[in-house]
């Protein structure tokens, strides 16, 4: 573990939206830990583990980060995850992210991990969870960052594989708060995972799912009705169905929106076309998140800044987004209100 703790960015002296955003306490609710693997660490881990990456340098790897769609990205993301082998690798990965998050005033994070990406190449489930979890424990003690862990099933694999993964997770029931669904969305509807989600919910895991990123509004509805999720990850295409939007508003279902991811994966053509402001105006319960920050060009603050500048968000909008991030989290009511009070205090002092 590094002994050098980062210092939160102080922004009191400046009045622009970047400084205001930096000063806001935030929760991050849509973050794939494997998507925080920066090229420098990927190369260091590959060397440590004697693994050859299909790129000769950090620069060459970074220049491959031009994606036409979700699958283009996933191919590189799964290849990069191959550098993670030992428990220490998962620790180092997670600790590096948490230090970054600390510098951006992230107070709480609900982290996705993809065990099948690792067990499928012979890494034990325990190696993955123990490495990540040790870093989360250290982050709470040393950085004051709270966290929850969410196991994502890979939707391009079949349900039997997901059921085996759920069996492995049962021994870690106390360390894993929820289950999610990620990877290639098109052609892999939520209903494919009805039984594994039913069993997971029965065992006390809270359910979320990626839906409406590339898939249709119908997948968002299916995630709600069949998987009984409490949050939708992305959810952009829900906007195509006015009845669904009305239901999401009425039920206050949070959407974990990821603006820079949406641009990089061509879910939106340009950040100026991003629907976040429209979503806020519709009364949707939206939050801003970084998804896979090492691949998409920014951590959570850069995501807030990008939409603030491109969509002309007001300080009230930004405050709403930060409040929503805690409201939509799985923190208890007392922790939520304390953090929301801190958000409101920034509104008072940052003029
Ligand atoms: N969508 C689907 N699967 C993923 C993503 C995403 O944005 N990031 C990592 N796995
Ligand atoms: Zn995601």
Centre of ligand 1 to C-alpha 264, Å, is 12
Centre of ligand 1 to C-alpha 171, Å, is 26
Question: Is 90 exceeded by the pLDDT of residue 8?
Answer: no
User: In the predicted model, what is the mean pLDDT of residues 290-313?
Assistant: 98
What is the reported pLDDT for 170? 98
Q: What are the tens digits of pLDDT across the range 215-244?
A: 999 999 999 999 999 999 999 999 999 999
- The band of 12, judged by pLDDT with boundaries at 50, 70 and 90, is very low
Q: Is 35 in the pocket of ligand 1 (CB under 6 A)?
A: yes
Q: Which ligand is nearest to the CA of 266?
A: 1
What is the reported pLDDT for 5? 57
Cβ within 8 Å of residue 181, ≥6 positions away: 152, 153, 155, 190, 193, 197, 208, 209, 210, 211, 223, 227
Centre of ligand 1 to C-alpha 350, Å, is 35
- The band of 11, judged by pLDDT with boundaries at 50, 70 and 90, is very low
Centre of ligand 2 to C-alpha 48, Å, is 28
**Helical (H) or strand (E) element with 206:** strand 206-211
What is the reported pLDDT for 338? 98
Q: What are the tens digits of pLDDT across the range 252-286?
A: 999 999 999 999 999 999 999 999 999 999 999 99
Q: Which residue bears the tokens 């929760």?
A: 27
| Ligand 1 pocket mutation pick from 210, 261, 266, 268 by most atoms within 8 angstroms of CB | 210
Q: pTM for the whole thing? A: 0.95
Cβ within 8 Å of residue 104, ≥6 positions away: 9, 22, 26, 299, 300, 301
Cα(193)–Cα(205) distance, integer angstroms: 15
Q: Is 32 in the pocket of ligand 1 (CB under 6 A)?
A: yes
Catalytic residue among 28, 38, 185, 213: 213
Q: How many CB atoms lie within 10 A of CB 1?
A: 9
What is the reported pLDDT for 1? 45
What is the reported pLDDT for 58? 96
Residues pairing with 273 in the sheet: none
Q: What are the tens digits of pLDDT across the range 55-78?
A: 999 999 999 999 999 999 999 999
What is the reported pLDDT for 6? 53
Cα(100)–Cα(159) distance, integer angstroms: 35
CA distances from 43 to 57, 64, 76, 196 (A): 8, 15, 14, 35
Q: Is 34 in the pocket of ligand 1 (CB under 6 A)?
A: no
For ligand 1, atom 10: residue with the closest CA: 183
Answer for the pair 206, 330: CB distance below 8 angstroms, yes or no: yes
Active site annotation includes 228? no
Domain layout of the chain by residue ranges = 20-349
What is the CA angle 60-64-68, rounded to 5? 170
Tally of CA atoms within 13 A in the half-sphere of 136 that contains its CB: 21
Cα(28)–Cα(302) distance, integer angstroms: 13
CA distances from 173 to 18, 116, 159, 166, 342 (A): 39, 17, 20, 10, 31
CATH 3.55.10.10 fits 20-349, yes or no: no
- Supply the Cα-derived Rg of the chain in whole angstroms: 19
- The band of 351, judged by pLDDT with boundaries at 50, 70 and 90, is low
Q: Is 183 in the pocket of ligand 1 (CB under 6 A)?
A: yes
Cα(95)–Cα(81) distance, integer angstroms: 16
Tokens of 273: 């076309």
Tally of CA atoms within 13 A in the half-sphere of 213 that contains its CB: 32
Percentage above 70 pLDDT, the chain: 95
Q: What are the tens digits of pLDDT across the range 184-215?
A: 999 999 999 999 999 999 999 999 999 999 99
Cα(17)–Cα(338) distance, integer angstroms: 23
Which residue, 35, 4, 176, 233, is CA-closest to 102? 4
Name the packing angle between helices 87-103 and 39-48 (round to 10°): 160
Q: How many CB atoms lie within 10 A of CB 270?
A: 8
Q: Is 92 in the pocket of ligand 1 (CB under 6 A)?
A: no
Q: What are the tens digits of pLDDT across the range 14-45?
A: 348 999 999 999 999 999 999 999 999 999 99
What is the reported pLDDT for 4? 53
Tokens of 343: 């958000």
Cβ within 8 Å of residue 7, ≥6 positions away: 103
């Amino acid at each position: 573990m590094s002994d050098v703790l980062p210092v939160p960015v102080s922004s009191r002296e400046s009045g622009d939206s970047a400084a205001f955003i930096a000063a806001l306490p935030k929760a991050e609710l849509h973050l794939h830990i494997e998507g925080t693997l920066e090229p420098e660490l990927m190369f260091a881990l590959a060397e440590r583990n004697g693994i050859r990456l299909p790129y000769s340098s950090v620069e060459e790897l970074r220049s491959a980060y031009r994606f036409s769609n979700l699958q283009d990205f996933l191919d590189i993301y799964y290849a990069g995850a191959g550098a993670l082998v030992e428990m220490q690798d998962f620790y180092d990965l997670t600790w590096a992210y948490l230090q970054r998050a600390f510098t951006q005033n992230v107070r709480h994070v609900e982290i996705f991990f993809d065990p099948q990406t690792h067990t499928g190449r012979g890494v034990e489930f325990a190696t993955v969870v123990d490495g990540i979890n040790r870093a989360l424990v250290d982050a709470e003690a040393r950085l004051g960052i709270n966290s929850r862990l969410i196991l994502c099933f890979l939707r391009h694999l079949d349900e039997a594989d997901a059921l085996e993964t759920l069996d492995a997770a049962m021994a870690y029931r106390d360390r894993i708060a929820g289950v999610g669904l990620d990877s290639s969305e098109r052609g892999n509807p939520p209903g494919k995972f009805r039984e594994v989600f039913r069993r997971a919910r029965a065992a006390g895991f809270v359910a979320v799912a990626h839906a409406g990123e590339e898939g249709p509004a119908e997948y968002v509805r299916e995630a709600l009705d069949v998987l009984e999720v409490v949050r939708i990850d992305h959810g952009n295409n829900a906007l195509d169905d006015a009845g669904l939007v009305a239901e999401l508003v009425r039920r206050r279902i949070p959407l974990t929106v990821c603006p820079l991811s949406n641009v990089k994966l061509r879910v939106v053509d340009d950040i100026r076309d991003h629907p976040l402001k429209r979503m806020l105006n519709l009364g949707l319960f939206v939050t801003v998140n970084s998804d896979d920050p090492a691949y998409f060009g920014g951590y959570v603050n850069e995501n807030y800044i990008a939409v603030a500048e491109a969509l002309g968000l007001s300080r009230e909008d930004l405050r709403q987004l930060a409040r929503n991030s805690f409201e939509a989290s799985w923190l208890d009511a007392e922790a939520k209100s304390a953090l929301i009070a801190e958000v409101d205090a920034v509104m008072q002092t940052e003029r």
